[in-house]
């Protein structure tokens, strides 16, 4: 069983100071296209899945769109309306739901991730295979982020391990954002780290490196308790302001989705 917790916020931009995203469009179109890519991937998966939408005061029109599309695609879903506005409240609510409502596999994902059709099937299948191989809970970051390879970051200088999986290669790494696929027990066992990130991110100096990134292991230089992997080639694209994957034909995927 897989529970997906999608956090949506139509207004405003979380990081307006970073400028335009590498795909320039209004936020409503961005959410719709990424949402359709996600439910299409769910529909193609053989795994029983429930989609939870954790919404931060989006318009009735967008929520109606989400509801209608879930019904059209025969997706089991539930919309959770946040009582308060803001990144920290909705992030905490998302993580709480991962901890309390997840039955086995949980996927915490933000509304600006564009998924390839095979994403959900591949992540669940590989998580099960890695769990059996290593005898421990594992985690997956769905995007093979170009920032990881940037010569201007410390990430590109760190060694990693490479594994051949069921349908692609998987590399180890030691950093995620709020978007991560793992077992519900990881949220329960390391709750204080997830909670701290959600509560204090952008309010203080607290970020991923001092919280959830201490959980992950790359199997080489950083040995947290949970091995972390990302797919090569990528299964999702984070449409943000500073990580355009120029080596991918991502526009073909984007243009293929009608909203």
Q: Strand (E) positions, the chain?
A: 2-8, 49-55, 76-81, 105-110, 113-115, 139-140, 162-164, 169-172, 180-183, 216-217, 226-232, 236-238
SS3 52: strand
Q: Whole-angstrom Cα distance, residue 220 to residue 241?
A: 30
Closest CA to 217 of 185, 186, 257, 251: 186
Q: Whole-angstrom Cα distance, residue 142 to residue 181?
A: 8
List, for residues 148-178, the tens digit of each pLDDT value.
787 777 766 778 999 999 999 999 998 999 9
Tell me if 155 sits within 8 A of 147, measured CB to CB: yes
Q: Is the pLDDT of residue 245 over 90?
A: no
List, for residues 178-200, the tens digit of each pLDDT value.
999 999 999 999 999 999 999 98
Q: What is the mean pLDDT of the chain?
A: 93
Higher pLDDT, residue 40 or 156: 40
**Percent of the chain at pLDDT exceeding 70:** 96
Tell me if 128 sits within 8 A of 25, measured CB to CB: no
The strand pairing partners of 77, in sequence order, are: 51
Tell me if 209 sits within 8 A of 201, measured CB to CB: no
Q: Whole-angstrom Cα distance, residue 207 to residue 167?
A: 33
Residues 6+ apart with CB under 8 A from 238: 112, 113, 143, 145, 177, 179
Q: Is the pLDDT of residue 13 over 70?
A: no
Q: Whole-angstrom Cα distance, residue 52 to residue 94?
A: 9
Question: pLDDT band for position 18 (50/70/90)?
Answer: low
The strand pairing partners of 105, in sequence order, are: 2, 183
Residue 91 CB burial class (10 angstroms; 0-12, 13-18, ≥19): buried
């Amino acid at each position: 069983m897989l529970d997906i917790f999608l956090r949506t916020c139509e207004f405003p931009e979380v990081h307006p100071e970073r400028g335009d995203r590498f795909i320039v469009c209004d936020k409503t179109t961005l959410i719709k296209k990424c949402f359709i890519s996600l439910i299409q991937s769910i529909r193609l998966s053989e795994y029983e899945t429930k989609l939870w939408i954790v919404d931060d005061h989006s318009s009735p029109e967008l929520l109606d769109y989400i509801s209608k599309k879930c019904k059209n695609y025969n997706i089991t879903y539930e919309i959770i309306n946040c009582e308060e506005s803001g990144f920290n409240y909705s992030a905490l609510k998302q993580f709480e739901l991962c901890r309390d409502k997840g039955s086995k596999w949980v996927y915490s994902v933000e509304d600006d991730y564009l998924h390839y059709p095979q994403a959900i099937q591949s992540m669940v299948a590989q998580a099960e295979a890695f769990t059996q191989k290593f005898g421990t809970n594992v985690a997956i970051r769905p995007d093979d982020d170009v920032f990881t390879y940037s010569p201007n970051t410390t990430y590109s200088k760190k060694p990693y391990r490479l594994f051949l999986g069921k349908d692609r290669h998987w590399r180890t790494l030691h950093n995620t954002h709020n978007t991560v696929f793992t077992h519900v027990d990881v949220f329960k066992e390391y709750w204080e780290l997830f909670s701290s990130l959600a509560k204090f991110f952008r309010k203080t100096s607290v970020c991923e490196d001092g919280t959830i990134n201490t959980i992950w292991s790359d199997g080489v230089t950083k040995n947290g308790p949970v091995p972390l992997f990302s797919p090569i080639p990528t299964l999702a694209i984070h449409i943000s302001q500073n990580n355009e994957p120029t080596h991918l034909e991502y526009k073909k995927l984007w243009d293929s989705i009608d909203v």
